[in-house]
Amino acid sequence: MTGTAAIIGGGVIGGGWAARFLLNGWDVRAFDPDPDAERKIGEVLGNARRSLPGLSDAPLPPEGRLSFHDNIASAVAGAAWIQESVPERLDLKHVTLAAIQAACAETAIIGSSTSGFRPSQLQDGAARPGQIVVAHPFNPVYLLPLIELVPTVANPPETVDAAKALLTSLGLYPLHVRQEIDAHIADRFLEAVWREALWLVRDGVATTEEIDNAIRYGFGIRWAQMGLFETYRVAGGEAGMKHFIAQFGPCLSWPWTKLMDVPELTDDLIGRIADQSDAQSGRHSIRDLERIRDNNLVAMMRALKQQDWGAGALLNAHDAALKPGAGLSGGVDKLETLDRLVLTLSRAVPLDWTDYNGHMTESRYLDAFASATDRFMELIGCDSDYIADPAGGSYFTAETHIRHLDEALAGTRIRVETQLLLGQGKKLHLFHRMYDGDRLLATGEHFLLHVSLETRRPCAPSAAIESALVRLSAAQSGLPWPEGAGAAIRKRS
């Protein structure tokens, strides 16, 4: 699903929304009266280009077009989704939403990034209340998937369903908040932690760094993959959640917290927090901190992808939705033509594939070419079903030669095209070319043998696989022999 989105307000959140839409193939029309808006959105987009595509093991659509406009009416023209991200002032939001509705299509969905206002407050006095919903994201919007989607009874069910479908198509998780409430759901948790943290700093119990360490070295990691209630269910052991509540429930009546009592933000407390924060993080610029944050988020979420758990399961589902539209599904019969190189991989280089030079590390070239080989095997019929069949088999790699010809960096969109050099009997000889656009980055030559998984010895593949190989071999016989094929490391002068 792609189209045109309008971003009204181009700060950190608005810029993140712009990046999320653009990198998922949407055209984005932006408006912000700030003369630096174009620069600020450009910097956010630069970070997003480096990090977001690497979360996916499938190719994202071609990046959409970004345009900047002098007024709201021009920006919202033709937009299917309009995201309002102006400062948290209700009067400003009312004026902005009125200007949007005066110019946008009646079928457009208007989402507000508000972290505190209820949707009924935003809809008050609106020309079309049912068009406006809360769509509250989390920073960075281009990486974190949670969107708190808060409608009211004024929003038709079909509008809510359309909003869910659209957000899901962007790789986001729309949490449908069925009852509007101040600060929605997630910010109420953050507010509770924030109040406790302010007291701890005010009373000299802990510094800002010590509080952050308590979160990131302890419960923050647990929460990242299992949330609150599931974490406590595990803490209850074999006896389960009832045991946990029975054991720890009484402490809720102890006078530990000050959740209903907020410390006065005096100049002294504000100065203390600012000084401690500068000592903790002041050696890094904001742009550096954003990249450090993005590196860590991508690494953690990619680790969760391997376990198909939490945010990782969401990313895997998004990959599965992307792959059918990328021309990477189906067998040999699904290929448009057989007499050209076969597209076997299309993806971006993730952050955790790069080394200390910022380059794609050597082992990941083999990783990419191995994935391309796996895809080629699927195309000829050596897929998971064939491998799982007791009478089936698989191809084992016997020899590999990789040539590194040019640089690939984090965020580089790579594709691998594969040529069949030999497909006869038990032998399979493949030559992969890795590109960034028209730039040849590397080649990988691979010789494989079909092996019986029962005897662990080489044997001929099934008749269906042999037939597919014969067809491809005949079709590709007119392709020139690739430069570098059959080569070994040569002595260089």
Rounded Cα distance, 98 and 93, in Å? 8
Mark whether 35 and 162 lie in a shared domain. yes
- As given in the structure block, the two tokens for residue 39 are 């620069």
Rounded Cα distance, 480 and 85, in Å? 55
Mark whether 25 and 163 lie in a shared domain. yes
Q: What is the pLDDT of residue 357?
A: 86
Rounded Cα distance, 420 and 374, in Å? 14
Mark whether 123 and 215 lie in a shared domain. no
Mark whether 20 and 169 lie in a shared domain. yes
Has 7 been labeled as part of a binding site?
no
Q: Are 373 and 402 in contact (CB under 8 A)?
A: no
Contacts of 80 (CB under 8 A, 6+ apart): 3, 4, 5, 105, 107, 108, 109, 166
Question: CATH code at 467?
Answer: 3.10.129.10
| Residue that finishes a domain, picked among 248, 283, 318 | 283
Q: Are 18 and 10 in contact (CB under 8 A)?
A: yes
Per DSSP, what are the bridge partners of residue 449?
A: 396, 427
Has 10 been labeled as part of a binding site?
yes
Question: In whole angstroms, what separates CA 202 from the centre of its chain?
Answer: 38
How large is the C-alpha radius of gyration of the chain? 27
Mark whether 146 and 73 lie in a shared domain. yes
What does the pLDDT profile of the chain (493 residues) look like in tens digits? 789 999 999 999 999 999 999 999 999 999 999 999 999 999 999 999 999 998 998 888 999 999 999 999 999 999 999 999 999 999 999 999 999 999 999 999 999 999 999 999 999 999 999 999 999 999 999 999 999 999 999 999 999 999 999 999 999 999 999 999 998 999 988 988 998 999 999 999 999 999 999 998 888 888 888 888 888 788 778 877 777 777 777 766 666 666 667 778 789 988 888 888 888 888 888 888 888 889 889 889 999 998 998 889 999 999 888 875 444 445 676 666 778 899 999 999 998 899 888 899 999 999 999 999 999 999 999 998 999 998 889 999 999 999 999 999 988 999 999 999 999 999 999 999 999 999 999 999 999 999 999 999 999 999 999 999 999 999 998 999 999 998 877 665 5
Q: Are 86 and 9 in contact (CB under 8 A)?
A: yes
Has 44 been labeled as part of a binding site?
no
Q: What is the pLDDT of residue 324?
A: 53
Instruction: Please state whether 492 falls in left (phi above 0), alpha (psi between -120 and 50) or beta.
Output: beta
Considering the domain boundaries, does residue 63 fall inside one? Answer: yes
Q: Are 461 and 382 in contact (CB under 8 A)?
A: yes
Structural domains of the chain, count:
3
Write a three-state SS string for 25-92.
CCEEEEECCCCCHHHHHHHHHHHHHHHHHHHCCCCCCCCCCEEECCCHHHHHCCCCEEEECCCCCHHH
Q: Are 365 and 345 in contact (CB under 8 A)?
A: no
Mark whether 261 and 356 lie in a shared domain. no
| Residue that finishes a domain, picked among 226, 248, 283 | 283
User: What pTM was computed for the model?
Assistant: 0.82
Q: What is the pLDDT of residue 335?
A: 67
Considering the domain boundaries, does residue 493 fall inside one? Answer: no
Mark whether 124 and 81 lie in a shared domain. yes
Considering the domain boundaries, does residue 260 fall inside one? Answer: yes
Residue corresponding to tokens 């023209």: 77
Mark whether 72 and 131 lie in a shared domain. yes
Has 14 been labeled as part of a binding site?
yes
Mark whether 128 and 222 lie in a shared domain. no
| Residue that finishes a domain, picked among 219, 254, 283 | 283
Residue 353 domain boundaries: 331-476
Sign of CA dihedral 278, 14, 25, 58: positive
Has 331 been labeled as part of a binding site?
no
Look up residue 392 and give its DSSP letter: -
CB atoms within 10 A of CB 105: 14
Considering the domain boundaries, does residue 33 fall inside one? Answer: yes
Nearest residue to 395 via CA among 370, 363, 415: 370
CB atoms within 10 A of CB 294: 21
Considering the domain boundaries, does residue 298 fall inside one? Answer: no
Considering the domain boundaries, does residue 313 fall inside one? Answer: no
Q: Are 76 and 97 in contact (CB under 8 A)?
A: no
Considering the domain boundaries, does residue 255 fall inside one? Answer: yes
Rounded Cα distance, 82 and 14, in Å? 11
Mark whether 278 and 381 lie in a shared domain. no
Considering the domain boundaries, does residue 440 fall inside one? Answer: yes
Has 444 been labeled as part of a binding site?
no
Query: Three-state DSSP class for 270?
Result: helix
Mark whether 272 and 399 lie in a shared domain. no
Mark whether 136 and 209 lie in a shared domain. no
